């Protein structure tokens, strides 16, 4: 290894860093450290003059390593790597110390914040000494796309991509397209027809020359990597058809929660306790009738069924409050004299037009009753003959503080949206992860919500988390734009910081193979060693830490680099 | 006769010393059987407490660098071990940390999971065969009529040899296999090109699975851990795949996989492979990936079936690992 000649640059970030960190002191402290050729500080390292400072120094002082102490590498690592590249050194011979988000912004003691900045910069200096140059790599992109799920998200993405002239394979496990939206009568908050919206979309997909639809089909295994995936599907048990595609969109949606497990609601005991989805069937049929064929005189709508309750699902399903208000309008229109009770735990009306919709609903002569989800759920009981109603709901009404009885003839349970049964099979096949709620995990919750950590695999609609139609459609179009972008480029960059096996050390124990979430490792029977496919590898490092023989090197995160960094953090104090 | 003698290659001077050790390493030198005669033919033992009556003062009188090769076995536990380590370093050209204890602390190194006071409490008060109500503990100096009696100072920490003196080579093993000793010794005697200073010699770079004859697959999912006596070993399948913790994948080969050949899991005495600085951490991360559960309660339950994990994963390596000791 050539002797490291490190340039260290401490950024003021205006006053963001400099008001809490003595940047001059940091610079002076690290100046004399071994291998530090030059150390400077500057107002805005990310500005053009800041970058020029680095570029000039690299050339003038023959630097071969660069450390910038500034903001989060998520923001400007690429900026400085590019500057290094411009000056002729490999971008991976750069290391960033985060002295803003992890230091100046979160501390109130200037001396301690300055000491911490010194520790972080020393750690970066120690680490960068062992950085090695890495080369960028690209793979070609097959222009076809596989979409799993024929609901509103999958359909929208399919049309978007197909309309751009690219092939789409749309796989749906049920026998028809349209997903959950096809089960709805009206949508909120405009009370426009779901059917008039979804039917033409299904028709356009069915007739599109660039879209091949496979109904009653499930994806069991996908092989390959970004740009070059493969799967074999079997339609109606026939011969398997092999499909090749460059990108994948998972749009497998969610399914309604089954309220049978909530004993308070006696869902299976009482036939007129129905789910919101069963109520939609009645609306689509055009009649709101009890099982006795009568119009209900009293209708209760219970919110948060299976939602926001640790016994069932802790999360909020986001759409049920507005759907419940939608039912108020529909019941009121159909049954002008019925008593309507909205039994809610919290009213959530955060979307565009939703608060207005809520306000409008309060004028429809209904009664809002609040219950405490954490303390006691309402209980649905059979009514006595003398009660003049089918059922009685007993509840502790929170706002009045009274225990009350509500007469009802029909109860609509606003059921939670939860993961599909086959969700684990899907995530395994396409190499994505599930969160604790069994929602697909996006690459970044804010900045990259439709991509995943697996290149070429996107997640849209409710499988990523409960959401309404506009959000689902927005995600579908976002993913389509990402994929069309990759197709337009023709090739995509792939991960550089991959893992590789040192065959001289690998003992063939195969511990690494099972732990790889990207199916990138295989066992070479001839040489009795593991092999990493560096196109599939995302550099997550799992195999590197699992390898008991120390034979797997995670590039850019070697033990030597990380341990040197830790030693650096510990060395000054 | 005299001319013949001058033509003879000068014999090497050999020292073998035990620090905090069980004696097994010294026995492993004797275990070379008839090859011991070759060793003695090529080298004069000048200091070897288990075999020769040579005093410390005799060693102190030797000129510096006059011993060609010292095999120092045992860890450094007290001031006597430390003193002799420093003395032998001064007197020796090639100092070898011989065996697991000198290399990484070995079994005595497990004492670093406690400290001096806990060790003394156990040894001089609590042991079942001890009756010591006055709580008398060893002291370094004790005045008697005839003068002052002295004992070495017991350190709080067990140290591997390289934390005390500069070490040229390491031969791992508990004890090292005698065949490996002969190979290394022959190389030194023959004047062959020696590996870079600091190398581990007499062992492989690859870990034990490489030579292990048991069948291995990627199917390493463990529902609970078993101690070897709790299962009927099928004698064919990788121990880990049967739920028995085997240190083989994290342990240098070189021993000939003798434990596993004898149907007992590898205990890790040959230490970590090159580049793996902390064998316990390496093995624990590997084991972590094998646990077949996805909720914290189940995972805890499976982990609880590992008896004495720290002692298991760091059995031979605690003082020489990054961990070093239990935080006090």
Please report whether residue B42 resides in a domain.
yes
Give the model's confidence band at B85: pLDDT under 50 very low, under 70 low, under 90 confident, else very high: very high
Q: Do B30 and B177 have their domain in common?
A: yes
Strands laid side by side in the A298-305 sheet: A273-275, A410-415, A298-305, A339-344, A367-370
B44 touches chain A (CB under 8 A): no
Cβ-defined contact of B208 to A563 (cutoff 8 Å)? no
* pLDDT of B5 above 60: no
Q: Which of B216, B275, B285 lies at the smallest CB-CB distance from A509? A: B216
Residue B195 in any domain: the answer is no
Tokens standing for B229?
């006596």
Chain B environment of A511 (Cβ under 8 Å):
220, 249, 286, 289-290
Chain A residues closer than 8 Å to B246 by CB: none
Q: Is residue B133 part of a domain?
A: yes
Across the A:B interface, residue pairs with CB atoms under 8 Å apart total 83
Is the same domain home to B220 and B164?
Answer: no
- Put simply, the answer to whether B289 touches A511 (Cβ < 8 Å) is yes
Q: Do B80 and B127 fall within a single domain?
A: no
CA neighbor of A461 nearest in space, from A146, A155, A201, A219? A155
B249 and chain A in contact, CB less than 8 A: yes
How many other C-beta atoms lie within 10 A of the C-beta of residue B230? 11
Residues of A with CB under 8 A from a CB of B: 504-511, 513-515, 523, 528, 542, 545-551, 559-560, 563
Percentage helix, strand, coil for chain B under 3-state DSSP, each rounded to 5 = 35, 15, 45
Position B200 in a domain: no
B92 touches chain A (CB under 8 A): no
Residues B94 and B77 in one domain: yes
Q: Out of B221, B238, B275, name the one closest to residue A550 (CB).
A: B275
Residues B79 and B177 in one domain: yes
The pLDDT of residue A1? 65
Mean pLDDT by 10 residues, chain A (573 residues): 92 96 97 96 96 97 97 92 96 97 96 97 98 93 98 98 98 96 96 97 98 94 91 82 96 97 96 98 96 96 96 96 97 96 96 96 94 95 92 97 97 97 92 93 91 93 97 98 97 90 94 89 94 89 92 93 94 77
B220 and A505 within 8 Å at the Cβ level: the answer is no
Residue B7, domain CATH: 3.40.50.700
Q: B162 and B141, same structural domain? A: no
Quick check: B273 contacting A, CB < 8 Å? yes
To test the contact with chain B by mutation, choose from A427, A515, A548, A561 the residue with the greatest count of B C-beta atoms within 10 A, namely: A548
CB atoms within 10 A of CB A342: 24
- Contact of B217 with chain A, judged by CB distance below 8 Å, is answered with yes
Asked whether residue B245 is domain-assigned, the answer is: yes
Which chain B residues are Cβ-neighbours of A563 within 8 angstroms? 277, 322
Q: In sequence order, which residues have a C-beta less than 8 Å from that of residue B294 and are 6 or more positions away? A: none
CA distances from A462 to A214, A423, B272 (A): 21, 12, 48
* Cβ pair B207:A545 closer than 8 A: no
pLDDT 10s digits, B152-196:
999 999 999 999 999 999 999 999 999 999 998 988 888 889 999
- Output phi, psi for A148, to 5 deg: -105, 110
Span B204-251, pLDDT tens digits: 999 999 999 999 998 888 999 999 999 999 999 999 999 999 999 999
Residues of A in contact with B218 (CB under 8 A): 510, 513-514, 523
Q: Are residues B298 and B234 in the same domain?
A: yes
Contacts of A42 (CB under 8 A, 6+ apart): A9, A10, A11, A12, A49, A50, A53
The answer on pLDDT for B3 being more than 60 is: no
Q: Does B55 fall in a domain?
A: yes
pLDDT tens digits along B252-310? 999 999 999 999 999 999 999 998 878 898 999 999 989 998 889 999 999 999 999 99
Residue to mutate among B200, B249, B323, with most A CBs inside 10 A, is: B249
For residue B63, the 8-state DSSP code is P
Q: Is B295 on the interface with A (CB under 8 A)?
A: no
Show the tokens assigned to B328. 């006090």
- Cβ–Cβ < 8 Å for A381, A355: no
Span of A534-548, B43-57, B92-106, B136-150 with lowest mean pLDDT: A534-548
**B55 and B146 housed in the same domain:** no
> Which element (helix H / strand E) includes A395?
strand A391-397
Q: Do the beta carbons of residue B102 and residue B184 sit within 8 Å? A: no
Same domain, B182 and B83: yes
- Strands A379-382 and A367-370 come out as unpaired
Provide the 10 A C-beta neighbour count for residue B17: 25
Q: Is the ipTM of this complex over 0.90?
A: no
Which DSSP letter does residue A227 get?
T
CB distance A559–B210 less than 8 Å?
no
Which of A503, A511, A529 should we substitute to test contact with B (largest number of B Cβ atoms within 10 Å)? A511
Closest residue, chain B, to A434 (C-alpha) = B294
Contacts of B148 (CB under 8 A, 6+ apart): B141, B142
Within-domain flag for B81: yes
Residue B17 and residue B73 in contact, taking contact as beta carbons nearer than 8 Å: yes
Taking the alpha carbons at both ends of chain A, their separation in whole angstroms is 29
Q: In whole angstroms, what is the distance from residue B24 CA to residue B269 CA?
A: 13
pLDDT for B82 equals 98
B1 pLDDT exceeds 80? no
Q: Residue A467: helix, strand or coil by DSSP?
A: coil
Residues of A in contact with B248 (CB under 8 A): 507, 509
Q: In whole angstroms, what is the distance from residue B39 CA to residue B42 CA?
A: 5
The string over B262-300, giving b where at least 16 C-beta atoms fall within 10 Å of a residue's C-beta and e elsewhere, is eeebbbbbbbbbbbbbbbbbbbbbbbebbbeeeeeeeee
Of A504, A511, A528, the CB nearest to B249: A511
Q: Which domain holds residue B164?
A: 2-108+158-189
Please tell me if residue B285 touches chain A, with a CB cutoff of 8 Å.
yes
Does residue B197 fall inside a structural domain?
A: no
Chain A hits for B250, Cβ within 8 Å: 548-549
User: Between β-strands A36-42 and A391-397, what pairing exists: parallel, antiparallel or unpaired?
Assistant: unpaired
Tell me how close the Cα of B256 comes to any Cα of chain A, in angstroms. 14
Number of neighbours of residue A482 by Cβ within 10 angstroms: 17
**B238 has a chain A CB within 8 A of its CB:** yes
Are B175 and B47 members of one domain? Answer: yes
Across all residues in chain B, what is the average pLDDT?
A: 93
Q: Are residues B75 and B175 in the same domain?
A: yes
**How close A545 comes to chain B (CA, Å)?**
6
Instruction: Kindly list the residues from chain A whose CB atom is less than 8 angstroms away from the CB atom of residue B286.
Output: 511, 546-548
* Beta strand segments in B105-183, E: 141-144, 147-150, 154-159, 169-171
What is the spatial distance between Cα A473 and Cα A488, in angstroms, rounded to a whole number? 22
- Mutant choice from B203, B204, B209, B238 vs A, greatest count of A C-beta within 10 A: B209
Assigned token pair, A392: 């009685």
The three-state DSSP-derived secondary structure of A510-551 is CHHHHHCCCCCEEEECCCCEEEECCCCCCCCCHHHHHCCCCC
For residue B92, the model assigns a pLDDT of: 97
Residue A441 in tokens = 């995990």
The partner residue sitting opposite A550, judged by closest CB among B218, B272, B289, is: B272
| Burial of residue B7, with CB atoms counted within 10 A of its CB: 0-12 exposed, 13-18 middle, 19 or more buried | exposed
In 3D space, the residue among A207, A145, A137, A201 whose CA is nearest the CA of residue A171 turns out to be: A145
Q: Is the distance from CB of B324 to CB of B156 less than 8 angstroms?
A: no
Structural domains of chain B, count: 3
Quick one: B143 and B232 in the same domain? no
Q: Which domains does chain A have, with CATH numbers?
A: 6-134 (3.40.50), 145-253+420-492 (3.50.50.60), 257-416 (3.50.50.60), 499-555 (3.30.70.20)
Could you give the angle at the alpha carbon of A483 between the alpha carbons of A478 and A487, nearest 5°? 145
Identify the bridge partners of residue A529 per DSSP, sorted by sequence position: A524
User: Chain B: residue nearest A502 by CA?
Assistant: B206
CA B308 to chain A, closest CA, distance in angstroms equals 19
């Amino acid at each position: 290894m050539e002797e490291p000649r490190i340039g260290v640059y401490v950024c003021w970030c205006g006053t963001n860093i400099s008001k809490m960190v003595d940047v001059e002191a940091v610079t002076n402290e690290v100046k004399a450290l071994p291998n530090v050729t030059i150390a400077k500080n500057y107002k805005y390292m990310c500005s053009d003059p800041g970058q020029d400072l680095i570029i000039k120094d690299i050339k003038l002082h023959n630097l071969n390593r660069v450390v910038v102490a500034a903001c989060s590498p998520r923001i400007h690592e690429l900026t400085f790597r590019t500057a290094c590249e411009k000056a002729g050194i490999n971008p991976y011979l750069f290391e960033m110390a985060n002295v803003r988000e992890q230091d100046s912004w979160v501390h109130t003691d200037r001396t301690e914040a300055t000491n911490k900045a010194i520790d972080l910069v020393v750690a970066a200096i120690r680490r960068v000494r062992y950085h090695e140059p890495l080369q960028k790599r690209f793979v070609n992109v097959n222009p076809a796309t596989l979409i799993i799920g024929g609901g509103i998200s999958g359909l929208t993405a399919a049309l978007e991509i197909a309309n751009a002239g690219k092939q789409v394979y749309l796989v749906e496990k049920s026998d028809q397209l349209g997903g959950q939206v096809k089960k709805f009568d009206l949508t909120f908050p405009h009370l426009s027809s779901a059917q008039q919206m979804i039917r033409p979309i299904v028709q356009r997909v069915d007739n599109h020359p660039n879209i091949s639809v496979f109904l009653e089909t499930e994806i069991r295994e996908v092989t390959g990597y970004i740009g070059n995936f493969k799967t074999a599907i079997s339609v109606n048990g026939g011969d398997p058809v092999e499909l090749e595609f460059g990108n994948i969109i998972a749009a497998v949606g969610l399914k309604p929660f089954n309220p049978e497990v909530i004993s308070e609601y006696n869902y299976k005991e009482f036939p007129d306790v129905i789910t919101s989805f069963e109520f939609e069937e009645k609306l689509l049929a055009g009649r709101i009738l009890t099982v006795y064929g009568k119009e209900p005189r009293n209708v209760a709508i219970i919110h948060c069924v299976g939602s926001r309750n640790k016994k069932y699902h802790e999360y909020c399903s986001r759409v049920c409050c507005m759907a419940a208000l939608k039912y108020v309008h529909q019941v009121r229109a159909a049954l002008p004299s019925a008593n309507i009770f909205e039994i809610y735990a919290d009213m959530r009306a955060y979307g565009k037009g939703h608060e207005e919709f809520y306000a409008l609903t309060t004028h429809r002569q209904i009664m809002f009753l609040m219950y405490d989800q954490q303390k006691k759920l309402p209980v649905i009981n059979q009514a006595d003959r003398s009660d003049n109603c089918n059922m009685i709901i007993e509840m502790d009404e929170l706002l009045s503080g009274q225990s009350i009885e509500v007469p009802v003839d029909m109860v609509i349970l606003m059921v939670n949206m939860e993961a599909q049964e086959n969700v684990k099979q899907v995530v395994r096949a396409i190499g994505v992860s599930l969160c604790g709620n069994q929602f697909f995990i996006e690459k970044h919750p804010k900045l990259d919500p439709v991509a995943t950590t697996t290149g070429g695999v996107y997640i849209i609609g409710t499988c990523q988390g409960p959401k309404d139609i506009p959000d689902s459609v927005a995600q579908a179009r976002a993913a389509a734009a990402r994929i069309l972008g990759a197709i337009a480029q023709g090739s995509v960059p792939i991960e550089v910081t991959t893992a590789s096996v040192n065959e001289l050390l690998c003992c063939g124990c195969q511990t690494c193979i099972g732990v790889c979430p990207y199916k990138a490792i295989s066992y070479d029977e001839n040489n009795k060693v593991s092999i990493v496919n560096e196109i599939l590898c995302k550099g997550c490092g799992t195999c590197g830490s699992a390898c008991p023989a120390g034979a797997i090197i995670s590039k850019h995160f070697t033990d030597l680099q990380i341990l040197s960094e830790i030693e650096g953090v510990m060395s000054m104090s | 006769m005299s001319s013949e003698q001058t033509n003879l290659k000068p014999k090497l001077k050999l020292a073998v010393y035990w620090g905090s050790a069980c004696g097994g390493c010294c026995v492993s030198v004797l275990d070379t059987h008839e090859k011991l005669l070759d060793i003695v033919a090529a080298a004069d033992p000048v200091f070897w407490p288990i075999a020769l009556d040579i005093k410390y003062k005799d060693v102190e009188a030797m000129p510096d660098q006059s011993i060609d090769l010292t095999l120092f076995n045992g860890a450094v536990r007290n001031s006597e071990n430390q003193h002799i380590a420093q003395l032998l370093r001064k007197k020796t050209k090639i100092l070898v940390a011989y065996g697991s204890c000198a290399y990484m602390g070995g079994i005595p190194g497990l004492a670093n999971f406690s400290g001096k006071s806990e060790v003394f409490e156990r040894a001089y008060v609590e042991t079942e065969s001890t009756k010591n109500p006055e709580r008398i503990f060893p002291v370094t100096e004790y005045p008697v009529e005839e003068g002052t009696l002295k004992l070495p100072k017991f350190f709080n920490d067990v140290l591997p040899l390289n934390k005390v003196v500069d070490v040229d080579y390491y031969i791992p093993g508990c004890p090292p296999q005698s065949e490996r000793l002969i190979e290394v010794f022959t190389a030194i005697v023959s004047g062959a090109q020696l590996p870079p200073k600091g190398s581990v010699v007499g062992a492989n770079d690859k870990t034990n699975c490489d030579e292990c004859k048991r069948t291995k697959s990627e199917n390493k999912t463990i529902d609970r851990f078993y101690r070897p006596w709790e299962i009927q070993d099928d004698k064919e399948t990788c121990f880990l795949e049967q739920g028995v913790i085997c240190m083989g994948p994290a342990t240098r080969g070189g021993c000939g996989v003798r434990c596993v050949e004898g149907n007992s899991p590898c205990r890790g005495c040959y230490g970590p492979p090159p580049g793996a600085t902390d064998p316990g951490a390496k093995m624990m991360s590997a084991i972590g990936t094998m646990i077949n559960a996805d909720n914290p309660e189940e995972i805890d339950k499976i982990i609880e079936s590992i008896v004495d994990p720290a002692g298991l994963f760091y059995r031979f390596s605690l003082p020489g690992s990054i961990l070093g000791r239990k935080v006090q």
